[in-house]
Amino acid sequence: MQAPRLVASDVDGTLLDDDGRVTARTGLIIGRLVAAGTGFVLVTGRPPRWIPPIASQVGVVRYAVCANGAVLYDIDEDRVVWSRTLPAEALAELATAARELLPGSTLAVERVGEGAFDAAAAQFAAEPDYEHAWPDADNSSEARDELLARPAVKLLIRHPRMTSDAMIAALEPSVQGVVDLTFSHPGGLVEASPAGVTKATGLAEVAARLEVAAADVVAFGDMPNDLEMLRWAGHGVAMGNAHPALKAVADEITASNVDEGLALVLERWF
């Protein structure tokens, strides 16, 4: 492949090392590719409010595709450019399936406002007994009926005593066509987006804005929520620490995130 015109990177387990940092080597190569006229975009399961600390480490990134493709966030303007939401009817249908097929599971939702820190949006809300997958998570507590009453960009289903793979295997046959299911955490957390919305669809919209064809995109990822993105990009790269499903579809497998696998690939062009 020739030098890409757009580079897309997942965040956790890909761009960041295990201490949550962009290493000096990785930051340097991203700076070089942007200086050469190549675009760089974050494509992540994270919500917009978790993006500014990452963007500040990189310094040259304008856009982040968030919530697994459901949101485009303009970092410079602190503005949600567009969002794709699950209507209340779809949330209710998925909640019913989770109650029947995953007894003991609990729910949370991601919503967005006009910017990353729009307090009026109550951006992350969870049932009172929801057990967070990340220790620094922030949320307001809502009863299930209230949780499902408003559109959301993502519904999260949590069952810490199951694997995420097993949860999807149980749920997917019942909700195909209603939502897209994926995960970025292996320990009992499934993320549901509107049907047809994935990291690939979000990245495709950014590429279209920049007038870049899929063949000229290199994408990096490590978890099943990156699958469609790696398939869509002209060159899909799985990290050495990636889930086996990702390694199976990747055009290339690089070193792990702690061994700066992203920089290792990009240094052949920049």
CATH number, domain containing residue 96: 3.30.1240.10
In a domain, 123, yes or no: yes
User: What pLDDT score was predicted for residue 117?
Assistant: 75
Query: Using 50, 70 and 90 to split pLDDT, how confident is the model at 29?
Result: very high
Sheet of strand 217-221, all strands in order from the earlier edge strand to the far edge: 79-83, 71-74, 63-66, 39-43, 6-9, 217-221, 235-238, 252-253
Indicate which CATH number applies to the domain containing 69: 3.40.50.1000
SS3 assignment for the chain:
CCCCCEEEECHHHHHCCCCCCCCHHHHHHHHHHHHCCCEEEEECCCCHHHCHHHHHHHCCCCEEEEHHHCEEEECCCCEEEEECCECHHHHHHHHHHHHHHCCCCEEEEECCCCCCCCHHHCCEEECCCCCCCCCCCCCEECCHHHHCCCCECEEEEECCCCCHHHHHHHHHHHHECCEEEECCCCCCEEEEEECCCCHHHHHHHHHHHCCCCHHHEEEEECCHHHHHHHHHCCEEEECCCCCHHHHHHCCEECCCHHHCHHHHHHCCCC
Burial class (CB in 10 A: 0-12, 13-18, 19+), 66: buried
Asked if the model's pLDDT at residue 79 lies above 90, the reply is: yes
Query: Using 50, 70 and 90 to split pLDDT, how confident is the model at 139?
Result: low
In a domain, 137, yes or no: yes
Mean pLDDT to the nearest integer, 7-25: 97
Asked if the model's pLDDT at residue 120 lies above 70, the reply is: no
Asked if the model's pLDDT at residue 121 lies above 80, the reply is: no
Q: Looking at the structure, do residues 78 and 105 belong to the same domain, yes or no?
A: no
Structural domain including 137 reads: 88-194
184: amino acid identity, one letter: S
Mean pLDDT to the nearest integer, 119-138: 80
Q: Looking at the structure, do residues 233 and 150 belong to the same domain, yes or no?
A: no
Question: From CA 90, how far away is CA 169, in angstroms rounded?
Answer: 19
Query: Using 50, 70 and 90 to split pLDDT, how confident is the model at 4?
Result: very high
Asked if the model's pLDDT at residue 88 lies above 80, the reply is: yes
Mean pLDDT to the nearest integer, 224-248: 98
Q: What tokens were used for 99?
A: 């109650």
Asked if the model's pLDDT at residue 34 lies above 80, the reply is: yes
Asked if the model's pLDDT at residue 135 lies above 80, the reply is: no
How many beta carbons lie within 10 A of that of residue 21, not counting itself?
13
Q: Looking at the structure, do residues 24 and 103 belong to the same domain, yes or no?
A: no
Q: What is the percent of the chain with per-residue pLDDT over 70, rounded to a whole number?
A: 97
pTM: 0.94
Q: Looking at the structure, do residues 218 and 230 belong to the same domain, yes or no?
A: yes
Query: Using 50, 70 and 90 to split pLDDT, how confident is the model at 137?
Result: low
Mean pLDDT to the nearest integer, 222-251: 98
For residue 192, the cross-strand partners are 155, 181
Structural domain total, the chain = 2
**Contact residues for 249 (Cβ-Cβ < 8 A; gap 6+):** 227, 230, 231, 236, 238
N residues, the chain: 270
Q: Looking at the structure, do residues 14 and 106 belong to the same domain, yes or no?
A: no
Mean pLDDT to the nearest integer, 200-208: 98
Please answer whether residues 81 and 51 qualify as being in contact, where contact means their C-beta atoms are separated by less than 8 angstroms.
no
User: What pLDDT score was predicted for residue 215?
Assistant: 98
User: What pLDDT score was predicted for residue 118?
Assistant: 72
- Between 15-19, 177-181, 210-214, 229-233, the lowest mean confidence (pLDDT) is in 177-181
Among candidate residues 169, 194, 219, the one where a domain is terminated: 194
Please answer whether residues 86 and 69 qualify as being in contact, where contact means their C-beta atoms are separated by less than 8 angstroms.
no
Q: At what angle do helices 88-101 and 164-175 cross, to 10 degrees?
A: 120
Cα 129 versus chain centre, distance: 24
User: What pLDDT score was predicted for residue 7?
Assistant: 98
- Between 109-113, 210-214, 245-249, the lowest mean confidence (pLDDT) is in 109-113
Rg value, the chain, Cα? 18
Among candidate residues 194, 209, 237, the one where a domain is terminated: 194
- Between 14-28, 45-59, 105-119, 213-227, the lowest mean confidence (pLDDT) is in 105-119
Q: Over the chain, what is the mean pLDDT? A: 94
For residue 172, give the nearest of 149, 196, 190 by alpha carbon. 190
Q: Looking at the structure, do residues 184 and 252 belong to the same domain, yes or no?
A: no
In a domain, 1, yes or no: no
Where is pLDDT greater, at 216 or 176?
Answer: 216
Asked if the model's pLDDT at residue 119 lies above 70, the reply is: no
